[in-house]
Chain A
Amino acid sequence: MIQAIAFYLFATLVLASGVLTIVARNPVHSVLWLILAFFNGAGLMLLVGAEFLAFLLIIVYVGAVAVLFLFVVMMLNIDFAELRAGFVKNFPLGIAIALVLLAELVLGVGAYRAGALDLGTADGMAAPLAGESNIENIGALLYGRYLFLFESAGIILLVAMVGAIVLTHRGTRSPRGQQNIARQIARKPSEATVNTKPEIGQGVEL
Chain B
Amino acid sequence: MDFSHSLSLILPEIVLSVAGLVLLLVAAWGGDKTSRAITIASCVVLAACFAIVAPSVCAAAMGPDTVAFGGQFTADAFAGIAKLMIFAAAGAALVIAPAFFGRYGIMRAEYPVLILFSTLGMAIMVSATDLMTLYIGLELQSLAAYVLASFLRTDDRSAEAGLKYFVLGALASGILLFGMSLVYGFTGTTDFGGIRAALSGGMATGALFGIVFVLAGLAFKISAVPFHMWTPDVYEGAPTPVTAFFASAPKVAAIALTARVALDAFGAQAGAWQQVVIFAALASIVVGALGAIGQANVKRLLAYSSINNVGFILIGLATGTAEGVSAMLVYLAIYVAMTVGSFVAVLMLRNAEGEALEAISDMAGLSRTKPLLALCLAMLMFSLAGIPPLFGFWGKFVVFQAAVQADMVALAAIGIAASVIGAFYYIKIVKIMYFDEPANVVQGRSDWAHWALLAISTAAMSPLGYLLTPWLGELADGAAAALFLAA
Contact = CB atoms under 8 A, between A and B. Distances in A.
Interface in A130-161: 144-149, 151-153, 155-156, 158-160
Interface string B111-139: 00110010010001000000011001101
A158 to B, nearest CB: 8
A4 B362 CA distance: 80
B389 interface: no
Contacts of B72: 146, 148-149
Interface in B175-199: 184-189, 194, 198
B63 interface: no
A155 B188 CA distance: 28
A121 B186 CA distance: 8
A121 B204 CA distance: 14
B147 interface: yes
B130 to A, nearest CB: 8
A118 B186 contact: yes
User: Considering residues B3, B24, B72, B113, which has the most beta carbons from chain A within 10 angstroms of its beta carbon?
Assistant: B72
Contacts of A122: 188
Contacts of A148: 6, 10, 68-69, 72-73, 133
A48 interface: no
A163 B204 contact: no
A149 B132 contact: yes
B140 A152 contact: yes
Nearest to B135: A149
A142 to B, nearest CB: 12
Given A121-B188, A148-B68, A148-B72, A163 B136 contact: no
A167 B186 contact: no
B110 A120 contact: no
Interface residues of A, number: 25
B144 interface: yes
A4 to B, nearest CB: 35
B153 interface: yes
Contacts of B382: none
Contacts of B151: 166
A205 interface: no
A145 B113 contact: no
Contacts of A147: 3, 69
Contacts of B6: 148
A117 interface: yes
Contacts of A121: 188
B381 to A, nearest CB: 35
B70 interface: yes
Nearest to A170: B153
B136 A145 contact: no
B188 A166 contact: no
Interface in B92-116: 108, 110, 113-114
B108 A120 contact: no
Contact of A123 (B153, B194, B206): B194
Nearest to A122: B188
B361 interface: no
Given A119-B186, A149-B132, A159 B114 contact: yes
Nearest to A145: B70
B420 to A, nearest CB: 43
A152 B117 CA distance: 10
User: Considering residues A144, A148, A158, which has the most beta carbons from chain B within 10 angstroms of its beta carbon?
Assistant: A148
A152 B138 CA distance: 11
B136 A156 contact: yes
B143 interface: yes
A162 interface: yes
B17 interface: yes
A152 B137 contact: yes
A117 B144 CA distance: 39
B1 A162 contact: no
B114 A163 contact: yes
Interface string A43-86: 00000000000000000000000000000000000000000000
B146 interface: yes
Interface string A94-127: 0000000000000000000000011111110000
A167 to B, nearest CB: 6
A149 B133 contact: yes
Contacts of A146: 69, 72, 132
B150 interface: yes
A160 B139 CA distance: 10
Contacts of A156: 136, 139-140, 143
Nearest to B166: A163
Given A119-B185, A119-B186, A123-B194, A153 B108 contact: no
Given A118-B186, A120-B186, A152-B136, A159 B144 contact: yes
Contacts of B185: 117, 119-120
Given A148-B133, A166-B147, A117 B188 contact: no
Contacts of A144: 1
A145 B69 contact: yes
Nearest to A154: B17
B194 A145 contact: no
Contacts of A166: 108, 110, 114, 147, 151
27 contacts: A117-B185, A117-B204, A118-B204, A118-B206, A119-B185, A120-B184, A120-B198, A123-B194, A144-B1, A148-B6, A148-B133, A149-B72, A152-B133, A152-B136, A152-B137, A155-B17, A156-B139, A158-B21, A159-B117, A159-B144, A162-B24, A162-B114, A163-B114, A163-B146, A163-B147, A167-B153, A167-B162
Nearest first, the 4 A-B pairs at minimum CB distance are A120-B188, A163-B147, A120-B187, A152-B136
